Amino acid sequence: MSENRHGPVVDTSASRHARLRPVAPQDVRVTDDFWAPRLRRNREVTIPAQHEQCETTGALRNFARAAGSVGGDFSGRYYSDSDVYKWIEAASWSLATDPSAELGDRLDAVIKLVSGAQDADGYLNTYFSVDRVGERWTDLVVRHEMYCIGHLVAAAVAHVRATGETTLLDVALRACTHIASRFAPGEVPGTCGHPGLEMALVELYRTTGDERWLTLATWQLDSRGAGVLDGSEYLIDHEPVRTQSRVTGHAVRALYLYAGMADVVLETGDAELRGALQRLWADLSGGKTAVTGGVGARWDGEAFGDAYELPDRAYNETCAAIAHIFLAWRLLLLTGEPEYRDAVETALHNGVLPGLSQSGTEFFYQNPLADAGRHRREPWFSCACCPPNIARLLASLPGYLYTTSDEGLWVQLYIGNQADLRLADGTPVRVDVATGLPWRGTVGVTVSPPAPTEFTLFLPVPGWAGGDVTVRVNGVDAAVEAGSRQVALRRTWTAGDSVELGFGTEVRALVAHPRVAATHHRVALARGPLVYCVEQADHETPVAGLRLRGTEEWAAEHRADLLGGVTTLTATGSAVAVDDGPLYRTYSGSPEPTSSVPVTAIPYYAWANRAPGEMRVFIPLADR
């Protein structure tokens, strides 16, 4: 087994085809005023609350039942094991960055439950224990057996990288050995109706160095399109993955699958899979992604729609935004291209954060871009995939801030932190980042190697900055090429060398492609990495009647007293009458605005934390 403790979330350190290598979460301590409180709330409130939910719903008891230590019926959905595994992963990454004896003891107890539920042949799924043993592997389309093992593997990898302990890894290895014997590569096609095991198997290969798991992951990818899942487009079984070019089907399943494809490409350089990924990403980013980075337009099947089918009431499942990040992160590691970094940043701030309440204990499953005031966060769901998914992503977030390459060090996300990193040649370097983001476009980076060291420091220019960037190195202006998406500073760095960056944070009025019928003649507001919305709590005029010209001068004001501290945007807009007249009327020109009204916008992630009321991201334009 290869050295596996202290590893990144996605460990491409030995991946022959990776452009970039990420760092371990425990190498980075998040310190800024925006993200540090959220990560603290995640470990102090969200993770403990979710453990309690796993107890209340019976998900933990199911493991004791499978081990024969308690009786009674199975509780919850047939994939409830995955809720527990995601909790283990969140707890493990939390321990990696912030050791806690209490959480460590609780985690050990849960792992003991999981281990006790495993059969002698390696099979592990509590739904198919006790009274459903004969139904095992009879329904790959629906029953999520491999999907659950995928989350077990991801949890085991996180646990060993956080603690160095292999107890759960041994359980995962036995489970995967069982799957490999049942669906032998090259012999018995087998893949799950819900992908997830594929990328976990590649990470298991990276952890152990055992080629079997990379081979099995590739076999599962190539089992699609052969009718194992009844040729279902919803399950992404309609054609071989190597020839696919259209993002379709259940959004989370599709993006987990594509992330697994990217993992295989990172290890093998498979040209066919890489070509498919390029086509699929072009389809995803070109016509199937909401302005928030949310994906999955249809409530029917939690699925992607057609190109440009991006309605206000889109489904935009929180898990799908997380899956979007998983795919974009792997493509960034593969290529180093800035569009993937931007996708991670957008989905993180606007696709994932809305899924979590200010308290840290309520969650959104769906994230529509408009609402009448009825959509509110809930403490848990009967299908509870999203809450622990948020918890594990936030717990591992420090591992997404930096990457390295043979050329030097890359900052990826401008989140305030203190990091102790190593360059590709093993040279240690301390990095301190202070930033005003997401509210102010200021970033300070201090680099401190123990001795003068030559390397390149790569600093992204976010797409939202529009090329408006200034750079100073040790107080001296540095030239930045116009339109550059990256600043590359090659020099011999000494302890205390500093870089100051300034980015434009002007309010952007965004319009969608003309083919997006739902947002025709409407604008969305964005500032820095954040998308904004208007909410009824800030307006006396009905939100439905608000109109903008798209050329307003917006005033940005930071309100420490509002929604945990947000920067609001205010301008003078107009309003049209919102009446109780007939649903359809004879057209007689656009309605004349009745008055000038103040318009206040708040970050989209913060909506639905006050009194229920109407909300919109896209605001109609006034014709005059």
Residues that are catalytic: 302, 385
Asked whether 54 and 83 are in contact (CB, 8 A), the reply is yes
- Alpha-carbon span 180 to 196, nearest angstrom: 16
Name the token pair of 50: 């979710």
Q: What DSSP letter does each residue of 365-412 carry, written as one string?
A: S---SEE-S----BS--SS--HHHHHHHHHHHGGGGSEEE-SSEEEE-
Beta strand 453-460 with 408-411 is: parallel
* Pairwise CA distance, residues 344 & 326, whole Å: 8
Degrees to nearest 5, angle at CA 26 with 25 and 30: 75
In which element (H, E) is residue 110 found? helix 101-116
Centroid of chain to Cα 304: 17
Three-class SS state of 111: helix
Strands 508-510 and 497-503: unpaired
Amino acid letter for position 63 = F
Other C-beta atoms within 10 Å of 222: how many?
18
Place of tokens 């909790």: 87
Residues 6+ apart with CB under 8 A from 229: 140, 141, 191, 193, 235, 237
Q: What whole-number distance in Å separates Cα of residue 357 and Cα of residue 391?
A: 12
User: Which whole-number Å values give the CA distances from 382 to 58, 83, 378, 584, in the listed order?
Assistant: 11, 11, 11, 39
C-alpha distances in angstroms, 604 versus 194, 507, 538, 566?
30, 14, 13, 11
**Beta-carbon contacts of residue 220 (< 8 Å; ≥ 6 apart):** 146, 183, 190, 191, 192, 197, 198, 201, 260
Of 387, 255, 264, the closest CA to residue 326 belongs to 255
Q: Which two tokens stand for residue 602?
A: 């708040």
Q: Is 100 exposed, middle or buried (0-12, 13-18, 19+ CB in 10 A)?
A: middle
**Distance (Å, rounded) from C-alpha 161 to C-alpha 93?**
8
CA angle (499 as vertex; 494, 504 as ends), nearest 5: 170
CB atoms inside a 10 Å sphere around CB 171: 23
Would you tell me the crossing angle of helices 251-268 and 318-335 to the nearest 10 degrees?
20
Query: And the tokens for 396?
Result: 């591992």
| Alpha helix stretches (DSSP H) within 288-358 | 318-335, 338-346
The number of CA neighbours under 13 Å toward the Cβ of 431 is: 32
State the burial class of residue 540 (Cβ atoms within 10 Å of its Cβ: 0-12, 13-18, 19+): exposed
Q: How far is CA 337 from CA 70, 107, 461, 463, in A?
A: 52, 38, 12, 12
The distance from CA 358 to its chain's CA centroid, rounded to whole angstroms, is 18
